Amino acid sequence: MVNRTDTPAAASVAVMERQGGFADRDAWTVTGTCRMERALALIGTRSAMVLLREVFFGATRFEDLVNRSGLSEAVAAGRLKELVGHGVLTRRPYQEPGSRTRQEYVLTDLGGRLFPVLVSLMEWGELLEDDHDTGVELIHKQCGSTIDTEIRCGNDHPVALGDTAVRMRTETPRTQ
Amino acid sequence: MVNRTDTPAAASVAVMERQGGFADRDAWTVTGTCRMERALALIGTRSAMVLLREVFFGATRFEDLVNRSGLSEAVAAGRLKELVGHGVLTRRPYQEPGSRTRQEYVLTDLGGRLFPVLVSLMEWGELLEDDHDTGVELIHKQCGSTIDTEIRCGNDHPVALGDTAVRMRTETPRTQ
């Protein structure tokens, strides 16, 4: 019923296949159950992500986090408090000789599991400009080779976007 | 020189090792070259990501994108225009019988390469609540198994956060 007029400029890529009841997308809303939105509610700001970047790079102390993120002290303090409240970071006391005990910020296990988010964002940002000789790169310590993200299924097949389907979980056959 | 007082609540995970000149983190800034920030400047808002989610799920038309994202028409229109301007989406004309030609929104190759970002965010959001029977799941069409992100290096080793190092690219040995 639809007359498409494709032009070379309108090249598009295959998206996900909707399966089961989810094929009728108007019958379902993901509002309230969307994991991506839940994640973004906690870490979906530039300030949260630049602080997390610096924590991933090894910064722990408030003054280092402020200097390296380029955020103001007020913004950094507010965001760090939120990240601690959400269980992404935790505070750990430290004391330098002659100084009072202070708190540093370290990743929790939950925070560490943002690793693929950080890598996939860096990887995508890499596509945006042709300056591949500058900036930092992430490598595998043991072999020195650069790292990237791959999507794989439980049977260890590499999975492209066009090979992906989306369905409601309540329709998943329960065989176990 | 630092006296750490670790408590059980302050458990932390290994982060990246800084190599070469980047070990002296104060000597380097990633400001202006950070790929992650560059990515976030384009897609680092909730509205951009919920629109992209719906495009990945197969929506193309403005009214569907508005309904399924839950955004207002004004916010959706502004964000879609930006995503087209950044080359993440492209407009494609379509015409239904008896109607004027309209534009739908489809992923470009660049947009499609956000697939690991979307999957890694959904995966992390999954950790935040214990409601694993609700919402949608992403599966490999060919085998039906659920998908997730893995970090691998160029030598195909799976790489954990603690096995990762970060270094400046200008220090990369140029052997080829």
Give the residue with greater pLDDT, B82 vs A25. Answer: B82
What residue of A is the nearest CA neighbor of B84? A10
Task: Give the predicted TM-score (pTM) of the model.
Answer: 0.90
What residue of A is the nearest CA neighbor of B163? A141
> Do B137 and A108 make contact, defined as CB atoms within 8 angstroms?
no
> Do A128 and B42 make contact, defined as CB atoms within 8 angstroms?
yes
Distance CA(A94)–CA(A90), nearest Å, equals: 13
Structure tokens at A126: 């890499």
Distance CA(B79)–CA(B58), nearest Å, equals: 18
Q: How many residues does chain A have?
A: 176
Q: What is the pLDDT of residue A26?
A: 79
Output the DSSP codes for B76-114: HHHHHHHHHHTTSEEEEEEE-TTS--EEEEEE-HHHHTT
pLDDT in tens, A130-158: 888 888 999 999 999 999 999 999 999 99
Q: E strands, A19-130, where?
A: 89-95, 102-107
pLDDT in tens, B1-56: 344 444 444 467 899 999 988 888 877 778 778 999 999 999 999 999 999 999 99
Instruction: Let me know if B17 is exposed, middle or buried by CB neighbors in 10 A (0-12, 13-18, 19+).
Output: middle
Distance CA(A118)–CA(B154), nearest Å, equals: 18
Structure tokens at A44: 């979906």
Helix or strand (DSSP H, E) at B153: strand B147-153
Q: Does B119 touch chain A (CB under 8 A)?
A: yes
Helix or strand (DSSP H, E) at A88: none
Q: Is the pLDDT of residue A4 over 60?
A: no
Give the residue with greater pLDDT, A33 vs A114. Answer: A114
- Closest to A34 in 3D by CA, of B81, B56, B144: B56
Angle between helices B46-56 and B35-43 (to 10 degrees): 80
Q: What is the pLDDT of residue B147?
A: 97
Q: Does A24 touch chain B (CB under 8 A)?
A: no
- What average pLDDT does this structure show over A5-34? 76
Q: Are the C-beta atoms of residues A142 and A126 closer than 8 Å to each other? A: no
Specify the 3-state DSSP secondary structure of A176.
Answer: coil
Q: Are the C-beta atoms of residues A166 and B138 closer than 8 Å to each other? A: yes
Q: Does B108 touch chain A (CB under 8 A)?
A: yes
Residues 6+ apart with CB under 8 A from A49: A43, A118, A121, B36, B37, B40, B44
Structure tokens at B114: 């956000």
Distance CA(A135)–CA(A143), nearest Å, equals: 20
Q: Does B61 touch chain A (CB under 8 A)?
A: no
- Distance in Å, alpha carbon of A31 to nearest chain B alpha carbon: 8
Distance CA(A105)–CA(B132), nearest Å, equals: 30
- What average pLDDT does this structure show over B127-136? 86
Give the bridge partners for B147, in sequence order: A153
pLDDT in tens, A95-135: 989 999 999 999 999 999 999 999 999 999 999 988 888 88
Q: What angle do CA A67, A68, A70 make, to 5 degrees?
A: 70
Q: Does B49 touch chain A (CB under 8 A)?
A: yes
Task: Look at the block and give the residue holding tokens 């809303």.
Answer: A29
Distance CA(B173)–CA(A32), nearest Å, equals: 49
Q: Please report, to the nearest 10 degrees, the dihedral formed by the alpha carbons of residues A67, A72, A78, A84 taken in order.
A: -10
Distance CA(A127)–CA(B30), nearest Å, equals: 17
